[in-house]
Amino acid sequence: MSFQYLKPNKSTKFKDRHTTKVDECVSPYEEGMQGDVGLVGLPFSKTSISASLASEAPAAIRKALGSYSTYSGERDKDYQNVSILDFGDVPVHPTDTSETLERLKTSVKEMIDTEACERYIMLGGDHGVSFPSISAFQEKFGRIGVIQWDAHHDLRNIDDGGRTNGTPFRSLIEAGVLKGEDLFQVGIRDFSNAKAYADYATNHGVHAYTMADIDDHGIHFITDQVIQILENKVDCIYLSVDMDAVDQAFAPGCPAIGPGGLTARELLSSVAKAAKNPLVKGMDIVEVDPSKDFRDITSRLAAHVMFRFMYN
């Protein structure tokens, strides 16, 4: 039987012949494929110290890719030929956190070992996923520098609760994966951290730029300064974007929202500026909780962070 309008198993989504949406450039990875950007989901948020369904973020951010075109009007350039290989999501263990962290590290390492792409994006999950992810990049590329956009230091002690989303960078430093002097934190916010962790940062050579620093010097000046320091010291640069670095007005779907943070434009322009450097090989986007979001504001901003990373 033929239908006049019905199309079983086919999308009824409107298609403009002149417009390419970003999700149309995504292909599931198969052995031997080559692309421009690799994508993997790390859907784990059981280590969050506040209630979080950030495990649902990879799916929400992927969905948001379908809302935007590949054309940049500011640059008058269409990026429809930039291919994205999706390696899927890492299956987490239902109860064993250590096993899950090992699975995350193994999967990220396996992805970059394919050498299928020049750059890779990891979609968290809470910020705890940065520990295994950055560890995998360090094993592959050598000395690693990290630019962390965040309201928090994430240098909490491990004794009080084990490895959580508040401990990834302390874990990396104490494991010898990351030198404190190679960690640059951008957007550290007032009344969001303990003095003990600010002191830990100082004592280990971590470079922490507060919102007051950004007010005084501007996000572009600070981003340029960070890149200039790192590019002369490390083998690889990794970007870690905690979405709670952004003011709660622009990113309501974060477990730890707060006022006085970056604007959406500040985050996007800073990521874009950093991503231009050829040493930048990977980026994670973390702390998006779709269950707390409003009209997908935070997931859509995360998608735009991806665009600034991919389209340079």
State residue 6's pLDDT score.
87
Domains of the chain with bracketed CATH: 22-310 (3.40.800.10)
Q: Is 96 part of any known ligand binding site? A: no
Read out DSSP for 63-89?
HHGGGSBSEETTTTEE-TT--EEEEEE
Mean pLDDT of the chain: 97
State residue 9's pLDDT score.
86
CA distances from 74 to 71, 77, 78 (A): 9, 8, 11
Tell me the per-residue pLDDT of 42-92, one tens digit each, with 9 for 90 and over.
999 999 998 899 999 999 999 999 999 999 999 999 999 999 999 999 999
Spatial distance between the Cα atoms of 110 and 34, rounded to a whole number of angstroms: 15
State residue 130's pLDDT score.
98
Q: Is 150 part of any known ligand binding site? A: yes
Check pLDDT > 90 for residue 269: yes
Residue carrying the six token digits 């239908």: 3
Tell me the per-residue pLDDT of 21-31, one tens digit each, with 9 for 90 and over.
999 999 999 99
Check pLDDT > 90 for residue 12: no
Q: Is 86 part of any known ligand binding site? A: no
State residue 272's pLDDT score.
98
Asked which of 12-16, 20-24, 304-308 is least confident by mean pLDDT, the reply is 12-16
State residue 161's pLDDT score.
84
Q: Is 127 part of any known ligand binding site? A: yes
State residue 226's pLDDT score.
98
Tell me the per-residue pLDDT of 90-128, one tens digit each, with 9 for 90 and over.
999 999 999 999 999 999 999 999 999 999 999 999 999
Q: Is 244 part of any known ligand binding site? A: yes
Confidence tier at 7 by pLDDT (50, 70, 90): confident
Q: Is 159 part of any known ligand binding site? A: no
263's CB contacts (< 8 A; 6+ apart) are 246, 247, 250
Asked which of 12-16, 144-148, 299-303 is least confident by mean pLDDT, the reply is 12-16
State residue 2's pLDDT score.
82
State residue 252's pLDDT score.
98
Tell me the per-residue pLDDT of 180-194, one tens digit each, with 9 for 90 and over.
999 999 999 999 999
Check pLDDT > 90 for residue 250: yes
More confident residue, 162 or 143: 143
Check pLDDT > 80 for residue 1: no
Spatial distance between the Cα atoms of 305 and 288, rounded to a whole number of angstroms: 12
State residue 234's pLDDT score.
98
State residue 162's pLDDT score.
82
State residue 5's pLDDT score.
86
Pairing of strands 207-210, 183-188: parallel
CA distances from 3 to 11, 155, 236 (A): 15, 61, 56
Confidence tier at 282 by pLDDT (50, 70, 90): very high
Percent of the chain with pLDDT over 90: 92
